[in-house]
Amino acid sequence: EPLPGLAYDSQRLSNLAKYLPGLLGDPSTAATLDTVLPMLPSLDLNADVSFTGEPIGELALPEVDVTVGDDGSLNAFGMTLPGASLDAATLQTLQDANVQALNVDVNSDGLFAAVNGKALPSIAWNDDSINALSGVAASVAGMDEATIGGLLNMVRGTGIKANLALPVGAGQTPAEIPAEIDRTVQPADLGDLSTPTIHLDATFDSNGNLTSLGTIGADDLSALGVNLGIALPPQVLDLMKSLNANELSIAIEGNKLNVDAAGQNILSIDHDADSLAALIDLASGFLGNSPLSDPGLQQLLNNVILPLVPGSDVQINVRIQ
């Protein structure tokens, strides 16, 4: 049944804030409310409280627009967020990479991100893959899998949509950012080219050393001049061990890249040539003076290689003996 309500505006809340320290007697609580009260007129907030121990309703967060000041301060809901800021080094790194806008949308189906209005490859998940992804994240972060799984499922159920605007770095041109970001994944157009195909089976020993490629064993590989010193990166080997998986597969079919471990999908990425190009452009900005910043290599990647990736038939299987 409806109970009496309260009506307020910014001025009335400001008047109330003056008396909170004396009414509450707790400076820290008063300071917290002094931060929250100015946000209320901008919020569309509905809260359901259960006194039975059974959950009711659902948690839905509003879309948040955050502006980063020249000093790294974060501004949202019309005010500066106290205690939250980007340090000078992080802000400089983002500006050097020419990141002027970052959009993030996390929901029940996956994670979408865009930089300067250009979509990046997106991660798709479901109930099964999110559990496997929890194990991967827990292994990488060194945290409890149940804790990571709970956080991921909470984020999936709640949804997070944030738009971050950053100051333009010195010497950078302001980016033209569309009002709506195109999330459409475009299929590859191979024209008259045949489908690029890579099928590879690689076997490694328990220490991560290469022992065979397909049916070609160590002796034959050595005779062919293949360096048997090739080894799996320690991070990949540790990941497979943590998942208790002796097989890892990477496959590209259409616009989707799937990574499976022990027959279970742990990562699914939707991509096209444009999103891959945006990712390469972002990476080259962060890496600075690297091969990715070479104009010739960029042209080769953007015009020749990346358009072929979504249309490729790729199946790479890695096995641990």
Question: Higher confidence at residue 275 or residue 27?
Answer: 275
**Residue 29, pLDDT score:** 80
What pairing do the DSSP bridges indicate for beta strands 247-253 and 313-320?
antiparallel
**Does position 129 have pLDDT exceeding 70, yes or no?**
yes
**Residue 70, pLDDT score:** 93
Distance, CA of 287 to CA of 248 (rounded, Å): 28
**Residue 69, pLDDT score:** 94
Distance, CA of 112 to CA of 91 (rounded, Å): 22
**Residue 159, pLDDT score:** 77
In tens, the pLDDT along 209-228 reads 888 888 887 777 777 776 66
In tens, the pLDDT along 150-204 reads 777 777 777 788 899 999 988 889 998 888 888 889 988 888 888 889 898 988 8
**Residue 88, pLDDT score:** 92
**Residue 67, pLDDT score:** 93
**Residue 60, pLDDT score:** 60
Query: Model-level pTM?
Result: 0.72
**Residue 269, pLDDT score:** 92
In tens, the pLDDT along 101-113 reads 999 998 888 889 9
**Residue 99, pLDDT score:** 93
- Please report which confidence band the pLDDT of residue 140 belongs to, taking 50, 70 and 90 as the band edges: low
Nearest to 62 by CA among 80, 40, 84: 40
The amino acid that residue 231 corresponds to is A
In tens, the pLDDT along 18-72 reads 888 888 877 878 877 887 787 777 766 666 777 777 766 665 666 888 999 999 9
Average pLDDT of span 260-288: 87
Question: Higher confidence at residue 229 or residue 88?
Answer: 88
**Residue 194, pLDDT score:** 87
β-bridge partners, 318: 202, 248
Residue that has been written with the tokens 């040539």 in this structure: 273
- Please report which confidence band the pLDDT of residue 229 belongs to, taking 50, 70 and 90 as the band edges: low
Give 258's contacts (C-beta < 8 A, 6+ positions apart): 249, 250, 251, 252, 265, 267, 268, 269
Give the 3-state secondary structure of the chain.
Answer: CCCCCCCCCHHHHHHHHHHHHHHHCCHHHHHHHHHHHHHHHHCCCCCCCCCCCCCCCCCCCCCEEEEECCCCEEEECCEEEEEEECCHHHHHHHHHCCCCEEEEEEECCEEEEEECCEECCEEECCHHHHHHHHHHHHHHHCCCHHHHHHHHHHHHHHCEEEEEECCCCCCCCCCCCCCCCCCCCCCCCCCCCCCCEEEEEEEECCCCEEEEECCECHHHHHHCCCCCCCECCHHHHHHHHHCCCCEEEEEEECCEEEEEECCEEEEEEECCHHHHHHHHHHHHHHHCCCHHHCHHHHHHHHHHHHHHHHHCEEEEEEEEC
- Please check whether residue 321 is in contact with residue 205, taking contact to mean a CB–CB distance below 8 angstroms: yes
